Amino acid sequence: MVKEEILGGLKLALSKGESLKQAMMSFYYAGYKKQDIEAAARTLHMQEHPNLIQEPIGVLKQKFFNQKPKQIPGLTVNPQTMQKPQNVSDYEHQPVKPKGKIILFLLIFLLLILIGALASIFIFKDEIIGFLNSFLG
């Protein structure tokens, strides 16, 4: 199925005087799939020349997609970065900081002390009540 946005972009580029090769390569560098670009170019070619066979598109395919990308002045394209999926957030990849670990250990230590104090209050409640009674009165 031909993507209408690619087909419309190819028509627009051709109307501005660009060659079909330049238009196809600009869509390729923009990250569109090669098969979608070829299908749109084939459709455009058949619309403009319905009596011709489809061999020129196959020649374009071999000629233009098998060569290495050319450097366009003012544009830096890194093919490796184009193929990496983009993450919406970076929360999954953030390492735990040592400062956070120290705070976590301190909180756990404080919790254990408080649990021990609570247990000692239940165990020694009679002695604590007797001490407070003698102290107060």
**61 lies in the same domain as 118:** no
Domain total of the chain: 2
The pLDDT of residue 66 is 63
pLDDT at 133 over 80: yes
Report the distance separating Cα 111 and Cα 117, nearest Å. 10
Could you tell me if 26 and 13 are in contact, meaning their C-beta atoms sit under 8 angstroms apart? yes
State the average pLDDT over residues 9-27: 87
Q: Residue 127's domain spans which residues?
A: 95-136
The pLDDT of residue 124 is 94
The pLDDT of residue 83 is 56
pLDDT at 90 over 80: no
**51 lies in the same domain as 105:** no
**66 lies in the same domain as 27:** yes
Q: Which residue has the tokens 């002045």?
A: 73
Closest CA to 46 of 56, 36, 37, 61: 56
Residue 107 lies in a domain: yes
The pLDDT of residue 110 is 97
Average per-residue pLDDT for the chain: 77
**67 lies in the same domain as 112:** no
Higher-confidence residue of 41 and 116: namely 116
Could you tell me if 32 and 6 are in contact, meaning their C-beta atoms sit under 8 angstroms apart? yes
The pLDDT of residue 119 is 96
The pLDDT of residue 3 is 79
Residue 83 lies in a domain: no
pLDDT at 106 over 70: yes
